[in-house]
């Protein structure tokens, strides 16, 4: 029996991929491999994930080849034409691969595959995210900036110098902001200076580390999910075995429990007749006040996505924006000059109406989004069954394709593309790069929260740069990165002091 099982395993694990590779029914062998094993197995891609900064490694392959094979059925493209074909509004491609594997019984707006189902979900939330309604969330952002400033002032003890980890504080800021914007919930994380959230489960009261739990679950999943065929079996086995994966996934469950608790709390307030302005309100009822009667599991899936995608990415972006400013004193001075004129020293917390018109502030944010996009890897899309021509090359149906933002943002359309030059965003010819700048992806599946993220980033950065002198604790040091799904920067220790006139 054991010999039989081992033979079957050998056949499945080694011979079948080798046979498929040499049979090559899709003619994918014509594309160069990103790593030694790419044509036979997803292990090469998984190993890149283990090494830390996967998109940078893929980019190195792209410097020689516009198309590379990153897995047996996965191709990575690099040109603006490929972006249009794969993600553009008229693309026949669908989300595939990892999205299908990761989604539970109730996919959210982010991981749902079916176009009609996606359109239905997007319609429900689009009212809350519409540009004309966005400024109604500003007071929630302002409240969080005030809380952060209060903490920094306390740490600075009036005019003394303090050391803070900006990575951590910016993430506390974004989790507080999204919990309020999505659910009208005040987590209290900024006030207590930690990501600890107390929740009630059926087993009683429990403390959950929001960021740590979120990252643990995503860390474990992002290590294995690229092997989509085997992921479910791997997860089943590794969850049962004591060790790294079991610990990470167990911690990750804390995030799901927190989501369940927060949804229950919000539902109770809704049933008690409280009229709250937030995203989840749009899931309970439409704009005429008629109940939508969505299943609770669907609401939980949407809330989990909002609390994840709506906090992690913006915190990453803020950390990178601050890091680059600290590394470029001339840029920081120019930004300060712009802020001095616009804010006139009279706005303790910058008003969005003021900062939304500041070109250099936007240039600084966009330039760091270009160099270090929070979602840097090639987002999987499945070609339609009949196949698709991408960048002049016909690609067979049911092949996974993508363009990493990390590579797109280093297109020759950006001169000196490795250099941090916010000024490039003020030039007229920047318009030519429009289709190549994809930190929020593009087309029908582009980010719905992009404008909210800009509100959070512009208001917070303008306020902090105006109020504090900031500098790196280690001016020679660089940021470490771990690329799970998002590109997580490591700690960013800063020296911080209140400025004389603030």
Which positions lie near ligand HEM, rule CB under 6 A? 109-110, 122, 178, 305-306, 309-310, 313-314, 317, 374-375, 379, 439-441, 445, 447-449, 452-453
List of E strands, 169-311: 196-201, 204-209
Provide the minimum distance between the beta carbon of 36 and ligand HEM in the complex, in angstroms, as a whole number: 28
Please name the residues in contact with 423: beta carbons below 8 A apart, sequence gap of 6 or more: 363
Provide the minimum distance between the beta carbon of 8 and ligand HEM in the complex, in angstroms, as a whole number: 35
Cβ closest to ligand HEM, residue 41 vs residue 442: 442
Cβ closest to ligand HEM, residue 343 vs residue 408: 408
Cβ closest to ligand HEM, residue 27 vs residue 123: 123
Cβ closest to ligand HEM, residue 17 vs residue 439: 439
Nearest to 107 by CA among 93, 94, 92: 94
Helical segments of 225-295, H only: 231-240, 244-271, 279-284
Nearest to 487 by CA among 364, 315, 251: 315
Cβ closest to ligand HEM, residue 156 vs residue 214: 214
* H or E element, residue 466: helix 450-467
Cβ closest to ligand HEM, residue 128 vs residue 224: 128
Cβ closest to ligand HEM, residue 245 vs residue 485: 485
* Residue carrying structure tokens 């303790």: 348
What is the bridge-based pairing of β-strands 74-76 and 400-402?
parallel
| Residues 473 and 493 sit within 8 Å (Cβ to Cβ) | yes
Phi, psi of 382 (to 5 degrees): -100, 130
Provide the minimum distance between the beta carbon of 58 and ligand HEM in the complex, in angstroms, as a whole number: 16
Cβ closest to ligand HEM, residue 39 vs residue 217: 217
In DSSP terms, 382 is beta-bridged to: 94, 400
Provide the minimum distance between the beta carbon of 141 and ligand HEM in the complex, in angstroms, as a whole number: 11
Does 447 appear as a known binding residue? yes
Local structure of residue 440 (DSSP, 8 states)? T
Provide the minimum distance between the beta carbon of 253 and ligand HEM in the complex, in angstroms, as a whole number: 22
Task: Tell me how far apart the alpha carbons of residues 213 and 197 are, in angstroms, rounded to a whole number.
Answer: 11
| Residues 459 and 135 sit within 8 Å (Cβ to Cβ) | no
Task: Tell me how far apart the alpha carbons of residues 68 and 221 are, in angstroms, rounded to a whole number.
Answer: 24
Task: Tell me how far apart the alpha carbons of residues 134 and 155 are, in angstroms, rounded to a whole number.
Answer: 32
Phi, psi of 94 (to 5 degrees): -120, 160
Provide the minimum distance between the beta carbon of 341 and ligand HEM in the complex, in angstroms, as a whole number: 26
* Strand, coil or helix: 460: helix
| Residues 370 and 482 sit within 8 Å (Cβ to Cβ) | no
Task: Tell me how far apart the alpha carbons of residues 416 and 2 are, in angstroms, rounded to a whole number.
Answer: 59
Cβ closest to ligand HEM, residue 414 vs residue 440: 440
Provide the minimum distance between the beta carbon of 14 and ligand HEM in the complex, in angstroms, as a whole number: 32
Classify 405 in phi/psi space as left (phi over 0), alpha (psi -120 to 50) or beta: alpha
Cβ closest to ligand HEM, residue 342 vs residue 376: 376
Provide the minimum distance between the beta carbon of 448 and ligand HEM in the complex, in angstroms, as a whole number: 5
State the Cα angle at 303 between 375 and 50, rounded to 5°: 35
| Residues 190 and 176 sit within 8 Å (Cβ to Cβ) | yes
Q: Is the dihedral of CA 30, 33, 39, 45 positive or negative?
A: negative
Provide the minimum distance between the beta carbon of 31 and ligand HEM in the complex, in angstroms, as a whole number: 23
Provide the minimum distance between the beta carbon of 177 and ligand HEM in the complex, in angstroms, as a whole number: 8
Report the binding-site residues: 447
Report the binding-site residues for heme: 447
């Amino acid at each position: 029996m054991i010999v039989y099982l081992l033979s079957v395993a050998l056949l499945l694990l080694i011979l079948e991929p080798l046979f498929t590779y040499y049979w090559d029914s899709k003619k994918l062998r014509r594309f160069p491999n990103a790593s030694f094993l790419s044509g036979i197995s997803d292990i090469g891609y998984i190993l890149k994930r283990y090494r830390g900064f996967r998109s940078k490694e893929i980019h190195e392959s792209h410097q020689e080849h516009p198309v590379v094979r990153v897995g047996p059925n996965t191709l990575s493209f690099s040109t603006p034409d490929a972006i249009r074909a794969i993600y553009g509004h008229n693309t026949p491609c669908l989300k595939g691969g990892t999205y299908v594997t990761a989604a539970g019984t109730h996919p959210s707006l982010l991981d749902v595959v079916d176009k009609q189902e996606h359109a239905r979900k997007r319609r429900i939330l689009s009212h809350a995210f519409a540009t004309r309604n966005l400024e109604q969330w500003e007071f929630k952002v302002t409240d969080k900036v005030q809380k952060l400033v209060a903490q920094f002032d306390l740490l600075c003890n009036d005019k003394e110098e303090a050391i803070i980890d900006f990575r951590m504080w910016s993430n506390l800021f974004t989790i507080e902001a999204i919990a309020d914007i999505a659910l009208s919930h005040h987590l209290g994380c900024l006030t207590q200076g930690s990501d600890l959230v107390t929740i009630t489960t059926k087993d009683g009261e429990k403390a959950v580390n929001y960021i740590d739990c979120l990252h643990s679950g995503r860390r474990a999943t992002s290590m294995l999910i690229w092997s989509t065929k085997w992921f479910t079996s791997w997860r089943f086995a590794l969850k049962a075995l004591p060790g790294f994966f079991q610990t990470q996934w167990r911690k990750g469950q804390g995030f799901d429990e927190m989501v369940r608790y927060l949804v229950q709390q919000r539902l109770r307030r809704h049933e008690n007749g409280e009229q709250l302005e937030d995203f989840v309100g749009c899931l309970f009822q439409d704009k005429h006040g008629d109940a939508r009667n969505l299943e609770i599991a669907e609401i939980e899936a949407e809330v989990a996505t909002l609390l994840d995608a709506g906090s992690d990415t913006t915190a990453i972006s803020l950390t990178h924006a601050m890091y680059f400013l600290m590394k470029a004193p001339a840029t920081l001075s120019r930004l300060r000059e712009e802020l001095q004129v616009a804010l006139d020293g009279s706005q303790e917390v910058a008003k969005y109406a003021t900062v939304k018109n500041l070109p250099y502030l936007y240039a600084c944010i966009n330039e760091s989004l270009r160099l270090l996009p929070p979602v840097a890897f090639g987002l999987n899309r499945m070609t339609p069954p009949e196949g698709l021509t991408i960048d002049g090359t016909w690609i067979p149906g049911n092949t996974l394709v993508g363009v990493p933002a990390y590579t797109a943002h280093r297109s020759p359309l950006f001169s000196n593309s490795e250099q941090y030059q916010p000024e490039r965003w003020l030039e007229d010819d920047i318009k030519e790069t429009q289709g190549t700048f994809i930190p929020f992806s593009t087309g029908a599946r582009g980010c719905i929260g992009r404008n909210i993220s800009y509100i959070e980033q512009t208001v917070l950065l303008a306020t902090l740069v105006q109020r504090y002198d900031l500098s790196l604790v280690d001016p020679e040091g660089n940021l470490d990165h771990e690329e799970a799904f998002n590109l997580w920067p490591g700690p960013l220790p800063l020296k911080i002091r209140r400025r004389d006139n603030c």
